[in-house]
Amino acid sequence: MEKNKLSEWWNINGNYKILHKINPLRLQFILNNFDKPIKKKHVLDIGCGGGLISESLAKTNAQVTGIDENIYNIKEAKEHAKINSLKITYKNQSLDSFFKKNKKKFDLILCLEVLEHVDNVEKTIEKISKLMNPDGTLILSTINRNLKSLIFAKIFGEYVLNWIPIGTHQFEKFLKPKEITELLKSKKLKIKKIKGMEFNPISNKWLLSDNTNINYFIVGKK
């Protein structure tokens, strides 16, 4: 069982195939919305999983720290980074645990496809804001909460298209953009951009969009 888990994240046709499809768009969006050269900047990837975006950013010479509370995710992330000779600091910690022990501040914090899984979004964003440098940037992505997202992200994504394992999402934890922007503003973060992303079945690619009905990014700035 452990061996299967350790081989799953980097299987482009496995349980995380949708993240492999989204990853190039995520990297493009991050680099275009971080307002300075990313080389040698300190980046925190919250809920890093097997290290998909952490590795992409490490290849740009960013100094990346990835945290995840799932030990199997961290084991695979470390193993894959070693195989590819990438220097990434991975920690098997929840955000709460990392926040208590860490003293470093970060230039860029990523929270990608994570917020829809946490129990207390406000406390999560509060901790993130305190981990940011005075001119730091937060880039997050999540799923809107409406009928369209229920049909396509939950029902089609899990039960029809089999993009993700059944039970991955709980609809009631999906978040409207306004809910997040209000929380960010309450933690003294400025909203720099809100952008949707959509899957184009013709090109078989994920693309940026002005439509935030389902998946979307938000960029916040100290």
What is the pTM assigned to this prediction? Answer: 0.93
CATH 3.20.20.70 fits 2-221, yes or no: no
Q: Where are the domains of the chain?
A: 2-221
pLDDT, position 181? 98
The two structure tokens encoding residue 139: 């880039």
**Cβ atoms of 216 and 152 closer than 8 Å:** no
Q: Long-range contacts made by residues 158-165, C-beta under 8 angstroms, separation at least 24? A: 163/17, 163/18, 164/15, 164/18, 165/15
Q: How many CA atoms lie within 13 A of 61 on its CB side?
A: 4
Beta bridge partners of 198: 207
Closest CA to 102 of 114, 111, 89: 89
**Length, in residues, of the chain:** 222
Strand locations in the chain (E): 42-46, 63-67, 89-91, 106-112, 132-143, 190-200, 205-209, 215-221
Helix-strand-coil split of the chain, %, nearest 5: 40, 25, 35
Return per-residue pLDDT of the chain as tens, 222 residues: 344 455 689 999 888 989 999 999 999 999 999 999 999 999 999 999 999 999 999 999 999 999 999 999 999 999 999 999 999 999 999 999 999 999 999 999 999 999 999 999 999 999 999 999 999 999 999 999 999 999 989 998 888 888 888 899 999 999 999 999 999 999 999 999 999 999 998 998 999 999 999 999 999 999
- CA 93 to chain CA centroid, nearest Å: 16
Looking at residue 150, its pLDDT comes to: 94
What pLDDT does residue 55 have?
A: 98
* pLDDT value, residue 2: 43
Residue 43 bridge partners (DSSP): 64, 108
Is 104 in a helix, a strand, or coil?
Answer: coil
For residue 106, what pLDDT is reported?
98
How many whole angstroms separate alpha carbon 194 and alpha carbon 165? 28
- Interacting residues of 149 by C-beta distance below 8 A, sequence separation 6+: 143, 171, 174, 213, 214
